[in-house]
Structure 1
Amino acid sequence: MASYELNAFDRRFQSISLVGAIEQQSPYTLNVGYWLRDPNQYILWPDMVASHPRQDFLWENTCFEIFIGVQGEDYYREINLSPSQAWQAYEFEEYRYPENMPPKVAYDIELNQLKKMHYGLNVSLDLTEFMLIHKLKWTDLFIGLTAILKTSQGDHYFAMQHSSPHADFHNKRDWLHLF
């Protein structure tokens, strides 16, 4: 398991700390955990939903995201995970393309489990179809972990690193995890 401290785009905002952990489990299962420290309870949490529905525009509220890139390829996947238990996966052919809003849904990634925990969020994703269709091995993939935290102090954008002049989670240079 590898862990990463996610940094706020606004470096002055130090009230919340966030760590993400990535683990390959079984031939096609990806587990990710987000550990959050919010001692002032600034985060605004979305209301819980009954099951794990696929929903668009989750980033309009507190949302955790996983980006899955492929070495030497332009295409990638974006997975949005809400503490409400809703989720969605999107496919992109290249940087932010196609530009549809919401983006094109990716049905080649499935959710095994999504849980809001007292410390943050835990998710298990099934990448079987995505990896088999594209003939991928774990070593072909690289991962970016991000979060949009809606707080009483405004919106804050967390990522493994921020190399753009503005918060840009689609910038592959910031997806640091390799298998």
Structure 2
Amino acid sequence: MASYELSAFDRRFQAISLVGAIEQQSPFNLNIGYWLRDPNQYVQWPDLVSAHPRQDFLWQNTCFEVFIGVHGEDFYREINLSPSQAWQAYQFEEYRYPEDMPPQAAYDIELNQLKRTHYGLNVCLDLGEFMAKHKLKWSDLFIGLTAVLNTSEGEHYYAMQHSSPQADFHNKRDWLHQF
């Protein structure tokens, strides 16, 4: 399991720390955990929903995200994971394209498990159809972990790194995990 300390885009905001961990499981499953330390309880958590419905615009509230890129290719996937237990997967042909809002849903990634935990969030994603459709191996993929945290102190953006002048989770330079 590889872990990464995610940093806030606003580096002055040190009240919350966030760590993301990635583990490849079985032939096509990806397990990801987010550990959030919020001693002042600034994070505003969305209400739980039943089951695991696909919903758009989850990033408008506290939301954890996974970006999946493919070495040498422009296309990628964005998976939004709400602590409410709602989720959505989006497909892009290249950087933020197509520009539809909400983005085009991707149905080649499935959710096995999503749960809010006492430490943050845990998710298990099935990448089998995505990997088979594009004839991919784990070594072809690279992953970015990000989060939008709505807090009583405003909205804060966390990522593995921030190399753009604005918070930009779609910047592949910031997706650091490789298998």
Superposition TM-score tier, normalisation by shorter sequence:
over 0.9
Match of 1:150 in 2: 150
For normalisation by structure 2, the TM-score amounts to 1.00
For normalisation by structure 1, the TM-score amounts to 1.00
Identity among equivalent positions (%) equals 82
Asked if residue 55 in structure 1 is aligned to residue 50 in structure 2, the reply is no
- 1:112-131 correspondence runs (5 A): 112-131=112-131
- 1:99-138 correspondence runs (5 A): 99-138=99-138
Match of 2:67 in 1: 67
Q: Which runs of 5+ in 1 are unaligned?
A: none
Q: Deviation of residue 15 (structure 1)?
A: 0.1
Match of 1:21 in 2: 21
CA distance in 2, matches of 1:57, 1:50: 18
CA distance in 2, matches of 1:55, 1:149: 18
Match of 2:4 in 1: 4
Q: Which runs of 5+ in 2 are unaligned?
A: none
Code of the aligned partner of 1:109: I
Match of 1:139 in 2: 139
Q: Deviation of residue 97 (structure 1)?
A: 0.1
Q: Deviation of residue 95 (structure 1)?
A: 0.0
- 1:67-90 residue CA offsets vs partner (Å, 9 max, x unmatched): 000000000000000000000000
Q: How many residues were matched structurally?
A: 179
CA distance in 1, matches of 2:137, 2:50: 35
Task: Report the aligned-residue RMSD.
Answer: 0.2
Code of the aligned partner of 1:155: E
CA distance in 2, matches of 1:31, 1:94: 25
Q: Deviation of residue 92 (structure 1)?
A: 0.1
Structure 1 runs of 4+ with >6 Å offset: none
- 1:122-150 residue CA offsets vs partner (Å, 9 max, x unmatched): 00000000000000000000000000000
Match of 1:94 in 2: 94
